[in-house]
Structure 1
Amino acid sequence: MTYVDGASGSPRHAALLNGTASHTIEFDDIFRDGGYHPGSPTISAALAVAQAEGSSVEAFHRAVIGGYEVGCRIAIALQPSHYRNWHITATVGTMGAAVSTAMLKGCSAEGIAHAIAIASSFAGGHQENLQGQGQTKPMHCGHAAEAGVLAGLAAAEGVTGSPGSLDAPHGYAAATSDGTGNWQAGLEGLNEWTSISRMTFKNYGCCGHIFPALDGINAMRVEHGFDPGDIAEVEIHGYGPTVSICDRMDVQSARDARFSLQYCAAALLHTGAVRMAAFSPETLGRDDIRAFMDRVIVTEDATIAAAYPARRQARLVITLNSGVVIEHFQPTRKGDPDDPLTDAELFEKYDELTAGVLDAGAAERLRDVIMTGDELPGLVLIKTRQLSAA
């Protein structure tokens, strides 16, 4: 079953559609230390397999936690060099999905290891299809979920992979990053903390590398009370991907806009938010937002770059038409573990994302299912029935 179209299908089919849909509007969670979005591939795979197997909520939760733990720690071991050419959610997400699948299929530790090894042969998704033109990026997550399910199902049936698939001289780390992986970093704190407890929840519907700048603009606007018409120039100084991915003036689509710091900064100043409405055709077509983009300058700051990826920071300099220059250093991103969203803010985000898809009663019931841990079939049925009727 898949919640996207409400139709019955194989776990692989459901994982593909759910994973793709979950990444389309750039609202999925982030594991900051690995630059990785575990939720779309891992939960999409686990949800599909759990329903096919008739699994309990406890089994589903354990599988999700296990998929997060393995995927996030592999991400740490591969980064930062892996991200130079590879979309890590597409690659490592395949392994996280494989772990969840193998756990739900009752695999032993050895079987789970084989699932990871098999998944490493399926793991792809390069940066050109993340940064360049086209619509492939969300499919990266769908493919990762589907391929992870295939790897987990294969391992459950006895198919094996090489024990050195990740760290051998010709293994995955060697093929996709510098060296054979920093496994000491990946395993640091094992049995002391879990990756799923260190997640970032997005406060904006755009690339996470844009968040520190938006947080900084919000803070400056509250303190100084300026309007867009008061601003002559906005300088945004960030880390590597702030420039390499998000310094984007050519915005032809909502997908481009979600990766344009210039557009998102202009949209925030003119509309007060960077959520769903910021990427509607009406907002994308606004002349005032488009004209303001020319006033936003994006550069890399060596000190901020050195703190990446453990810290996602920004330094802003806003010059007003009056000649007054305002500066601000943004040390965190709202939604990161050290600056988390409150429950009220998470519910506000949930309400916005479900509006227009579920009626108010159905949205409330689904929220209760998620928060109280009712049996998984109930959660799936609410989703599929309401989305099928929408």
Structure 2
Amino acid sequence: MFVSEKLGRFTADFHNTPVGAEVMHHARRALVDWYGALLAGYPMAPTPMVEKSLALELDQGKARLPLGRAASTRAAALINGTASHTAEVDDIYREAIYHPGAPTFSAAMAVGQALEVSGMEFLKAAIAGYETSTRIGRTLGRTHYQHWHNTGTVGTFGAATAAAYLLGLNAVQTANAIALSATFAAGLQQAFKMDSLAKPLHSGRAAEAGVTAAMMAQQGVISSLDVFEGEAGLGHAMSNSPDWSHALDDLGTAFNINSMTFKNHACCGHTFAPIDGVLTLQQRHGIDVQDIEKVVIATYSPAIAVAGNSHPTTAPEARFSITFVVATALIHGSVRLAAFEPERLASPAIRALMSRIELQVDETADARFPGQRSAQVSITTKGGQQHSMLQPTRKGDPDLPLTDAELNDKFLELGLPTLGEARSKTLSAALWKLDEAKDLGALC
């Protein structure tokens, strides 16, 4: 069987597969995290622009946008997929260098609302999407990440799988949906090397493309089922011709949704180990920010390639600037959404400290990427004292996870500006018990 056929069989069979309590708990955690990211990003550019551009597809259909506006299934997938990746607070599967929640849940929500499915079926669709896509992303590996934005590429498979599951496609139809979505997969890293609003669109398009592929497969559209391992397939075209023979060995036995990273800072995940490290050093040694002479961050090379912008001028650029977020953390104690407001971006104090931060590649950290995200951090004071430490992981990674309470607090913080306190708390309660709901009506 080809990879697409194995994925199709797993997804079709998953309808009759019971989900254990641990897996369902982690699915609820992923849902809470995704919905917080959705609410945070909904009012932020480019989401309102995308919504206006799709005006002809709104105010009709059974799918819903975050504040309840009706939308066609595909428009909802695209808009919600964009919104939930805009604020840079969505989840990560680090081994695949991939944000599964934004494309997968956005696709599942759009189709699930249109079909009026139960909360349990919605969550099972998302679980299936996480499981298939994370393994594809893990196999494509670091080579794929040199040029491609994995959430735009790999995300199509999470979206297609979730949509196919909810549409009730059989194994052959699902295999074709996944194979079709492979030829839709796109998203270049160069799209966000400069000031740009393109990056969140990768997630939105992945969600929409996956939904579209599943709908087409339902109507009998077929594709080359060897699209992953074929001589002109995804593996050769977008990676280093990886070996697919064991890519799915643990599919259905190990659940990657149990091993998600949930962000503790509102910026690129590559910046997190440096942020956590400097905050630990500052607190441990009582370092006054005014006394800092120099900061050295030594981390893995993709972090510097993606987030090495030392002169950001806009919020999208600043979210991908290690120097900006490290300086912000040292001065303000955290990196939340407020970090990217205009007054912070122009802050003389932040800019002055940024000029004293040096970035280096650490060979050990580089060799352990993507499975481990670490950084060596050092702060030298004006009195000549040097304080150094290894930050071996990130707060929010599976080996240093956010608790349910911390995750819920994050959701409330993100949801409050859009929904207000009362509605945010009501929605939070509904999300944590969605597997018991007969439909998705409580979420809009």
TM-score, structure 2 normalization: 0.84
2:441 pairs with 375, 378, 390, which one? 378
Whether contact under 8 Å (1:198, 1:337) holds in the other structure is yes
CA deviation after TM superposition for structure 1 residue 6, in Å = 3.0
Deviation digits for residues 259-316 of structure 1 (CA, Å, limit 9, x no counterpart): 0000000100111110111111222121111111001101101111001111100001
Aligned ranges 1:1-390 → 2 under 5 Å: 1-4=63-66, 6-179=68-241, 181-184=242-245, 186-373=247-434, 374-381=437-444
Q: Which amino acid aligns with 1:207?
A: C
Query: In structure 2, how many angstroms separate the alpha carbons of the residues matched to 1:378 and 1:61?
Result: 14
Deviation digits for residues 306-342 of structure 1 (CA, Å, limit 9, x no counterpart): 0111110000111111100111001111101111011
CA deviation after TM superposition for structure 1 residue 182, in Å = 3.3
Q: Which amino acid aligns with 2:97?
A: G
Whether contact under 8 Å (2:195, 2:316) holds in the other structure is no
Deviation digits for residues 126-165 of structure 1 (CA, Å, limit 9, x no counterpart): 1100323321001111111111100010111111111101
What secondary structure, in the 3-state scheme, does the structure 1 residue paired with 2:154 have?
Answer: helix
Query: In structure 2, how many angstroms separate the alpha carbons of the residues matched to 1:148 and 1:366?
Result: 27
Whether contact under 8 Å (2:274, 2:375) holds in the other structure is yes
TM-score, structure 1 normalization: 0.95
Query: Compared with structure 1, are the counterparts of its residues 75 and 187 closer, same or farther at alpha carbon in structure 2 (3 Å cutoff)?
Result: same
Runs of 4 or more off by more than 6 Å in structure 1? Answer: none
Query: In structure 2, how many angstroms separate the alpha carbons of the residues matched to 1:192 and 1:221?
Result: 43
CA deviation after TM superposition for structure 1 residue 56, in Å = 1.1
Aligned partner of 1:385 in structure 2 is none
CA deviation after TM superposition for structure 1 residue 96, in Å = 1.0
Residue ranges of structure 1 left out of the alignment (5+ in a row): 382-390
> RMSD in angstroms over aligned alpha carbons?
1.2
Q: Which amino acid aligns with 1:18?
A: N
Whether contact under 8 Å (1:76, 1:185) holds in the other structure is no
CA deviation after TM superposition for structure 1 residue 228, in Å = 1.1
Q: Which amino acid aligns with 2:291?
A: D
Residue ranges of structure 2 left out of the alignment (5+ in a row): 1-62
Query: In structure 1, how many angstroms separate the alpha carbons of the residues matched to 2:229 and 2:258?
Result: 26
How many residues of Structure 1 are paired with residues of Structure 2 in the alignment?
Answer: 380
What secondary structure, in the 3-state scheme, does the structure 2 residue paired with 1:121 have?
Answer: helix
Deviation digits for residues 88-111 of structure 1 (CA, Å, limit 9, x no counterpart): 100110111011111100011221
Query: Compared with structure 1, are the counterparts of its residues 199 and 184 closer, same or farther at alpha carbon in structure 2 (3 Å cutoff)?
Result: farther
CA deviation after TM superposition for structure 1 residue 191, in Å = 3.4
Query: In structure 2, how many angstroms separate the alpha carbons of the residues matched to 1:218 and 1:188?
Result: 40
Whether contact under 8 Å (2:92, 2:98) holds in the other structure is yes
CA deviation after TM superposition for structure 1 residue 4, in Å = 4.1
Q: Which amino acid aligns with 2:443?
A: V
Query: In structure 2, how many angstroms separate the alpha carbons of the residues matched to 1:372 and 1:342?
Result: 17
Q: Which amino acid aligns with 1:245?
A: V
Query: In structure 1, how many angstroms separate the alpha carbons of the residues matched to 2:402 and 2:89?
Result: 14
Query: In structure 2, how many angstroms separate the alpha carbons of the residues matched to 1:92 and 1:370?
Result: 26
Whether contact under 8 Å (1:313, 1:332) holds in the other structure is yes
Which shows bigger deviation, 142-151 or 239-248? 239-248
Deviation digits for residues 65-119 of structure 1 (CA, Å, limit 9, x no counterpart): 0111111000011011000110010011011101111110001122111111000
Aligned partner of 2:21 in structure 1 is none
Which shows bigger deviation, 358-367 or 17-26? 358-367
Deviation digits for residues 227-278 of structure 1 (CA, Å, limit 9, x no counterpart): 2111100000000112111111121111011000000001001111101111
Q: Between the two proteins, what is the percent identity of the paired residues?
A: 42
Q: Which amino acid aligns with 2:73?
A: P
Query: In structure 2, how many angstroms separate the alpha carbons of the residues matched to 1:376 and 1:248?
Result: 45
